[in-house]
């Protein structure tokens, strides 16, 4: 398999490079490793604060590592090649624009930490800033996006193991989600950030080795000539769909990071002053990775590899060019990228469910033990839900993930405005999120996933700006850290929720 060259013209059938036995052995070894590390790191999670936000004491090294590892998802290592395969050079560059979200969130994370030193979730901020009017659509969007991302990565785990070793999709997918659920249960955010540090090192080293090995094996000039002759649009800088995807993916990245509790929970977990530096450095480390991964997608047509599922093209090309050793390395890299993101989502979404969905319905103040037990139950339910939805293996990773694009894009302006402008009002935020989501979803179904986030963010921005002009607010940011006001708002919300139920 390692002798395949770029001069191959006919499509060749792809067969797994690793044996199923080797795949099962690797799967068992990594499963034991992550569960053991989760138990070891989780010994520090003695309180709910430790379980949910790692004691709010995460330093620079761990903070940067968890940002990089969480953002290097299966979507980075598998969707970037798919983008390049379908949209050409702009496709690979489009996915790299997601790093801009990390850069932009860097200063925001510092402000979040200052405004809400005792905060837990993004929904908590929206509730205090905009009240129930802004919280309801934001909570729906946050939960929907988290579930969509979780399902897409569960699917990626099954696809990866099937492509590389022939392990049946349902088996691989089930083991991946079960392992992540188990070690997140043991240690919460301590286990997540601790394993992220190790996973980020493995991912970065592995990707460098894969990239160098592929460049040695393949003739770039030959690839360019094949693409120019057979698929010239992949090299065109005026490919319309690719150009739209560039801005669509950039705005999707902004929306993902700005609204997702995965990133807010880390902002609360990092020590004061660490967040801005950690997110900025994480963005720099992440920026070149989609471009490197995307090159694998561009090489596939020139190699003549038959691709039945475009989101598996990256592992297929690496395994074809590098043989058994390459397949093993890709297995390790993608498995680490899966685990580092699934565990983050499980922990952050469980925090959101406990603090913003369950606690407001409780008549009495929840103890640390109760909140910890509720978080564990939510993690199990999230894992079971993602397994159930991912099992049929319907759609590609792009179509599944970007279905949430218009909704997260519509949250950009309410978040930015809520953090920095006193005039941002509940009515403006609510209308912006609802109108942006609706218009973006219409674009998703009538035009395509590659414009939906762009449409959602654009409509939301216009509506939010008009809403601030028509119905401005005069918000006092000090109220976000005023404990007496926080307790009063929480009590009022609990009463409203109780009456509604």
Strand partners, 305: 12
pLDDT tens per residue, range 396-427: 666 666 788 899 999 999 999 999 999 999 99
Q: pLDDT tens, 138-160?
A: 999 999 988 888 888 888 888 87
By three-state DSSP, how is residue 172 classified? helix
Burial of 48 (0-12, 13-18, 19+ CB in 10 A): buried
pLDDT band at 388 (very low <50, low <70, confident <90, very high): very high
Identify the structural domains of the chain with CATH numbers, from first to last: 20-394 (1.20.1730.10)
- Whether residue 307 is predicted with pLDDT greater than 70 in this model: the reply is no
The larger pLDDT score, comparing residue 169 to residue 341, is at: 169
Residue-level pLDDT at 5 = 37
Per the DSSP assignment, residues forming a β-bridge with 414 are: none
Share of the chain above pLDDT 90, in %: 30
Helix axis angle, 449-470 to 412-420, nearest 10°:
40
- Position 95 scores a pLDDT of 77
- For residues 293 and 333, the answer to whether their CB atoms sit within 8 Å is no
Query: What average pLDDT does range 375-386 have in this prediction?
Result: 94
Residue among 416, 465, 64, 149 at smallest CA distance from 258: 416
When comparing pLDDT for 121 and 310, which is higher? 121
**Please, are residues 379 and 188 in contact by the beta-carbon 8 Å criterion?**
no
C-alpha count within 13 angstroms, C-beta hemisphere, residue 252: 28
Burial 389-403 (b: 16+ CB within 10 A, else e): bbbeeeebbbebbbb
Please report the pLDDT score of residue 424 as a whole number.
95
pLDDT score recorded for residue 74: 63
For tokens 């698929």, what's the residue? 231
Q: Of 137-151, 196-210, 241-255, which one has max mean pLDDT?
A: 137-151
Mean pLDDT across 254-279: 91
How is residue 362 written in tokens?
């409780």
Summarised one tens digit per residue, pLDDT across range 58-115 is 889 888 888 888 777 666 777 778 777 777 777 778 778 888 989 999 999 999 999 9
Q: What is the 3-state secondary structure (H, E, C) of 221-234?
A: HHHHHHHHHHCHHH
Centre a 10 Å sphere on the Cβ of residue 422 and count the other Cβ atoms it contains: 12
pLDDT at res. 17: 67
Residue 250: the pLDDT is 85
**Residues with Cβ within 8 Å of residue 464, at least 6 apart in sequence:** 413, 414, 417, 424, 428, 429, 431, 432
> How far is CA 444 from its chain centroid?
20
d(CA 323, CA 21): 16
pLDDT at 21: 86
**Apex CA 82: angle with CA 77 and CA 86, to 5°?**
160
Between residues 105 and 19, the one the model is more confident about: 105
Report the pLDDT averaged over residues 236-240.
71
Q: Give me 420's structure tokens.
A: 């920095």
Give this prediction's pTM.
0.81
**Poorest-pLDDT segment among 173-177, 179-183, 324-328:** 324-328
Stronger pLDDT, 14 or 118, i.e. the higher one: 118
Instruction: Tell me the pLDDT of the chain averaged across its residues.
Output: 82
- When mean pLDDT is compared across 110-114, 363-367, 430-434, 472-476, the lowest value belongs to 363-367
Place of tokens 């990133």: 263
Q: Is the pLDDT of residue 119 over 80?
A: yes
pLDDT tens for residues 432-471?
A: 999 999 999 999 999 887 788 889 999 999 999 999 999 9
Average pLDDT, stretch 185-192? 82
Taking 50 as the threshold, does the pLDDT of residue 11 lie above it? no
Token pair belonging to 211? 């990239």
At residue 275 the predicted structure's pLDDT band, cuts being 50, 70 and 90, is very high
Q: Alpha-carbon distance 266 to 68, whole Å? A: 12
DSSP single-letter state for residue 104: H
């Amino acid at each position: 398999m390692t002798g395949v060259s770029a001069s191959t013209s006919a499509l060749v059938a792809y067969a797994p490079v690793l044996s199923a036995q080797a795949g099962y052995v690797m799967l068992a070894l990594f499963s034991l490793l992550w569960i053991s590390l989760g138990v070891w790191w989780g010994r520090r999670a003695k309180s709910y604060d430790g379980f949910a936000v790692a004691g709010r004491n995460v330093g620079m090294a761990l903070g940067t590592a968890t940002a990089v590892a969480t953002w290097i998802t299966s979507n980075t290592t598998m969707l970037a090649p798919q983008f390049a395969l379908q949209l050409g050079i702009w496709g690979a560059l489009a996915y790299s624009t997601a790093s801009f979200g990390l850069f932009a969130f860097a200063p925001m994370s510092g402000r979040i930490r200052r405004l809400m030193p005792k905060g837990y979730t993004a929904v908590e901020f929206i509730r205090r800033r905009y009240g129930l009017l802004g919280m309801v659509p934001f909570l729906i969007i946050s939960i929907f996006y988290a579930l969509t991302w979780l399902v897409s990565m569960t699917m990626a785990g099954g696809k990866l193991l099937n492509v590389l070793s022939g392990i049946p999709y349902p088996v691989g997918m089930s083991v991946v989600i079960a392992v992540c659920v188990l070690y997140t249960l043991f240690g919460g955010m301590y286990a997540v950030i601790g394993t992220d540090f190790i996973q980020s090192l493995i991912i970065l080293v592995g990707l460098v080795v894969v990239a160098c090995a592929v460049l040695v094996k393949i003739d770039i000039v030959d690839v360019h000539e094949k693409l120019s002759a057979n698929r010239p649009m992949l090299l065109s800088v005026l490919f319309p769909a690719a150009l739209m995807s560039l801005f669509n993916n950039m705005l999707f990245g902004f929306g993902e990071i700005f609204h997702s509790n995965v990133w807010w929970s880390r902002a609360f977990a990092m020590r004061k002053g660490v967040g801005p530096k950690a997110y900025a450095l994480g963005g720099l480390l992440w920026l070149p990775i989609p471009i490197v991964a995307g090159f694998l997608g561009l090489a596939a047509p020139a190699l003549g590899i038959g691709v039945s599922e475009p989101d598996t093209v990256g592992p297929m090309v690496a395994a074809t060019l590098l043989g058994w050793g390459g397949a093993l390395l890709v297995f390790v890299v993608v498995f680490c990228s899966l685990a580092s993101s699934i565990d983050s989502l499980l922990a952050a979404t469980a925090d959101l469910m406990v603090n913003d969905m369950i606690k407001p319905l409780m008549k009495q103040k929840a103890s640390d033990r109760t909140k910890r037990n509720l978080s564990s139950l939510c993690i199990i339910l999230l894992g079971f839900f993602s397994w159930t939805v991912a099992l049929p293996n319907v759609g590609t990773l792009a179509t599944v993930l970007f279905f949430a694009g218009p909704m997260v894009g519509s949250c950009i302006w309410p978040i930015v405005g809520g953090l920095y402008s006193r005039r941002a009002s509940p009515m403006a935020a609510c209308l912006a999120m609802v109108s942006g989501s609706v218009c973006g979803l219409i674009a998703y179904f009538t035009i395509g996933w590659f414009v939906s986030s762009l449409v959602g963010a654009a409509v939301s921005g216009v509506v939010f700006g008009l809403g601030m002009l028509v119905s401005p607010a005069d918000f006092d940011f000090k109220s976000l850290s005023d404990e007496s006001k926080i307790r009063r708002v929480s009590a009022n919300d609990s009463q409203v929720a109780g009456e509604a139920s």
